[in-house]
Protein backbone atom coordinates (compact mmCIF):
# COMPACT_ATOMS: atom_id res chain seq x y z
CA UNK A 1 0.00 0.00 0.00
CA UNK A 2 2.85 2.40 0.80
CA UNK A 3 4.34 1.76 -2.64
CA UNK A 4 1.08 2.76 -4.37
CA UNK A 5 0.95 6.00 -2.37
CA UNK A 6 4.56 6.77 -3.30
CA UNK A 7 3.73 6.21 -6.98
CA UNK A 8 0.68 8.48 -6.74
CA UNK A 9 2.75 11.21 -5.11
CA UNK A 10 5.40 10.73 -7.77
CA UNK A 11 2.83 11.11 -10.56
CA UNK A 12 1.64 14.41 -9.07
CA UNK A 13 5.25 15.50 -8.58
CA UNK A 14 6.26 14.59 -12.16
CA UNK A 15 3.08 16.19 -13.53
CA UNK A 16 3.99 19.46 -11.83
CA UNK A 17 7.46 19.36 -13.38
CA UNK A 18 6.00 18.64 -16.83
CA UNK A 19 3.65 21.60 -16.46
CA UNK A 20 6.52 23.82 -15.35
CA UNK A 21 8.63 22.84 -18.36
CA UNK A 22 5.73 23.24 -20.79
CA UNK A 23 4.96 26.74 -19.50
CA UNK A 24 8.64 27.72 -19.52
CA UNK A 25 8.95 26.64 -23.15
CA UNK A 26 5.85 28.63 -24.12
CA UNK A 27 7.19 31.69 -22.33
CA UNK A 28 10.61 31.28 -23.95
CA UNK A 29 8.98 31.08 -27.40
CA UNK A 30 6.98 34.26 -26.68
CA UNK A 31 10.15 36.05 -25.57
CA UNK A 32 12.05 34.98 -28.68
CA UNK A 33 9.13 36.09 -30.87
CA UNK A 34 8.99 39.50 -29.18
CA UNK A 35 12.74 40.03 -29.51
CA UNK A 36 12.76 39.01 -33.18
CA UNK A 37 9.79 41.28 -33.90
CA UNK A 38 11.58 44.16 -32.15
CA UNK A 39 14.71 43.36 -34.15
CA UNK A 40 12.75 43.54 -37.40
CA UNK A 41 11.29 46.90 -36.33
CA UNK A 42 14.80 48.21 -35.60
CA UNK A 43 16.04 46.92 -38.98
CA UNK A 44 13.13 48.75 -40.63
CA UNK A 45 14.03 51.93 -38.76
CA UNK A 46 17.63 51.69 -39.89
CA UNK A 47 16.62 51.08 -43.51
CA UNK A 48 14.33 54.13 -43.51
CA UNK A 49 16.98 56.34 -41.90
CA UNK A 50 19.64 55.13 -44.33
CA UNK A 51 17.34 55.78 -47.30
CA UNK A 52 16.56 59.31 -46.17
CA UNK A 53 20.22 60.24 -46.32
CA UNK A 54 20.55 59.13 -49.95
CA UNK A 55 19.76 61.01 -53.12
CA UNK A 56 17.20 59.77 -55.60
CA UNK A 57 15.49 57.83 -52.82
CA UNK A 58 13.06 55.69 -54.85
CA UNK A 59 15.62 54.05 -57.12
CA UNK A 60 18.27 54.08 -54.42
CA UNK A 61 15.86 52.48 -51.94
CA UNK A 62 15.10 49.60 -54.28
CA UNK A 63 18.81 48.98 -54.84
CA UNK A 64 19.39 49.12 -51.10
CA UNK A 65 16.65 46.54 -50.45
CA UNK A 66 17.99 44.19 -53.13
CA UNK A 67 21.58 44.44 -51.91
CA UNK A 68 20.64 44.04 -48.26
CA UNK A 69 18.46 41.03 -49.10
CA UNK A 70 21.37 39.34 -50.87
CA UNK A 71 23.80 40.11 -48.05
CA UNK A 72 21.47 38.92 -45.28
CA UNK A 73 20.45 35.79 -47.18
CA UNK A 74 24.10 34.94 -47.76
CA UNK A 75 24.89 35.42 -44.06
CA UNK A 76 21.70 34.12 -42.38
CA UNK A 77 20.01 31.92 -44.99
CA UNK A 78 16.36 31.91 -45.95
CA UNK A 79 13.89 34.48 -44.71
CA UNK A 80 15.59 37.66 -45.87
CA UNK A 81 14.49 38.01 -49.48
CA UNK A 82 13.67 41.41 -50.93
CA UNK A 83 9.94 41.03 -50.22
CA UNK A 84 10.67 40.23 -46.55
CA UNK A 85 13.02 43.22 -46.26
CA UNK A 86 10.32 45.45 -47.79
CA UNK A 87 7.84 44.10 -45.25
CA UNK A 88 10.28 44.83 -42.41
CA UNK A 89 10.65 48.39 -43.71
CA UNK A 90 6.86 48.73 -43.96
CA UNK A 91 6.51 47.40 -40.39
CA UNK A 92 8.57 50.31 -39.10
CA UNK A 93 6.56 52.79 -41.17
CA UNK A 94 3.23 51.38 -39.94
CA UNK A 95 4.34 51.23 -36.29
CA UNK A 96 6.34 54.45 -35.83
CA UNK A 97 7.95 55.83 -32.66
CA UNK A 98 4.92 57.50 -31.01
CA UNK A 99 3.01 54.27 -30.34
CA UNK A 100 6.13 52.56 -29.10
CA UNK A 101 7.07 55.50 -26.91
CA UNK A 102 3.58 55.41 -25.36
CA UNK A 103 3.93 51.71 -24.59
CA UNK A 104 7.39 52.18 -23.15
CA UNK A 105 6.36 55.24 -21.15
CA UNK A 106 3.67 53.16 -19.46
CA UNK A 107 6.18 50.45 -18.61
CA UNK A 108 8.74 52.86 -17.21
CA UNK A 109 6.19 54.72 -15.08
CA UNK A 110 5.58 51.42 -13.27
CA UNK A 111 9.30 50.86 -12.84
CA UNK A 112 11.12 52.01 -9.72
CA UNK A 113 14.19 52.62 -11.82
CA UNK A 114 13.23 55.55 -14.08
CA UNK A 115 15.21 56.38 -17.18
CA UNK A 116 14.44 58.98 -19.77
CA UNK A 117 13.04 57.66 -23.03
CA UNK A 118 15.63 59.63 -24.96
CA UNK A 119 18.31 57.53 -23.29
CA UNK A 120 16.59 54.49 -24.79
CA UNK A 121 16.59 55.97 -28.29
CA UNK A 122 20.27 56.53 -29.01
CA UNK A 123 21.20 57.52 -32.52
CA UNK A 124 22.15 53.94 -33.31
CA UNK A 125 18.71 52.72 -32.20
CA UNK A 126 16.65 51.47 -29.32
CA UNK A 127 17.82 48.54 -27.24
CA UNK A 128 15.98 45.55 -28.69
CA UNK A 129 15.15 44.05 -25.30
CA UNK A 130 13.32 47.19 -24.19
CA UNK A 131 11.63 47.52 -27.56
CA UNK A 132 10.36 43.93 -27.42
CA UNK A 133 7.88 44.95 -24.72
CA UNK A 134 6.05 47.08 -27.29
CA UNK A 135 5.38 44.08 -29.57
CA UNK A 136 3.33 41.43 -27.77
CA UNK A 137 2.41 39.56 -30.97
CA UNK A 138 4.63 37.36 -33.10
CA UNK A 139 6.22 38.59 -36.33
CA UNK A 140 3.75 36.43 -38.27
CA UNK A 141 0.84 38.31 -36.68
CA UNK A 142 2.36 41.69 -37.55
CA UNK A 143 3.18 40.54 -41.10
CA UNK A 144 -0.50 39.69 -41.56
CA UNK A 145 -1.58 42.98 -39.98
CA UNK A 146 0.53 44.88 -42.52
CA UNK A 147 -1.94 43.73 -45.19
CA UNK A 148 -4.76 45.59 -43.43
CA UNK A 149 -5.22 48.93 -45.17
CA UNK A 150 -6.36 51.37 -42.49
CA UNK A 151 -4.62 52.00 -39.15
CA UNK A 152 -7.98 51.76 -37.35
CA UNK A 153 -8.74 48.32 -38.75
CA UNK A 154 -5.17 47.23 -38.05
CA UNK A 155 -5.52 48.36 -34.41
CA UNK A 156 -8.82 46.46 -34.12
CA UNK A 157 -7.34 43.22 -35.44
CA UNK A 158 -4.26 43.64 -33.27
CA UNK A 159 -6.45 43.92 -30.16
CA UNK A 160 -8.45 40.88 -31.27
CA UNK A 161 -5.26 38.87 -31.76
CA UNK A 162 -4.08 39.86 -28.28
CA UNK A 163 -7.44 38.93 -26.78
CA UNK A 164 -7.42 35.57 -28.53
CA UNK A 165 -4.04 34.70 -27.07
Say how many domains are in the chain: 1
How high is the pLDDT of residue 96?
Answer: 81
pTM for this prediction? 0.72
Q: What is the DSSP letter of 95?
A: S
Q: Domain range for residue 63?
A: 2-164
Is 155 within 8 Å of 149 (Cβ atoms)? Answer: no
d(CA 29, CA 27): 5
d(CA 10, CA 17): 10
How high is the pLDDT of residue 116?
Answer: 38
pLDDT digits (tens, 9 = 90+) for 72-123: 999 999 999 999 999 999 999 998 864 554 554 444 445 444 443 334 444 4
Amino acid sequence: MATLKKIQNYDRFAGGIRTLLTEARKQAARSVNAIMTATYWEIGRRIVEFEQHGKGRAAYGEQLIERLAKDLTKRFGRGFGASQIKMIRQFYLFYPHPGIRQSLTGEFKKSKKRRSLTSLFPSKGLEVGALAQAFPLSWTHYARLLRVVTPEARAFYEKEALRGG
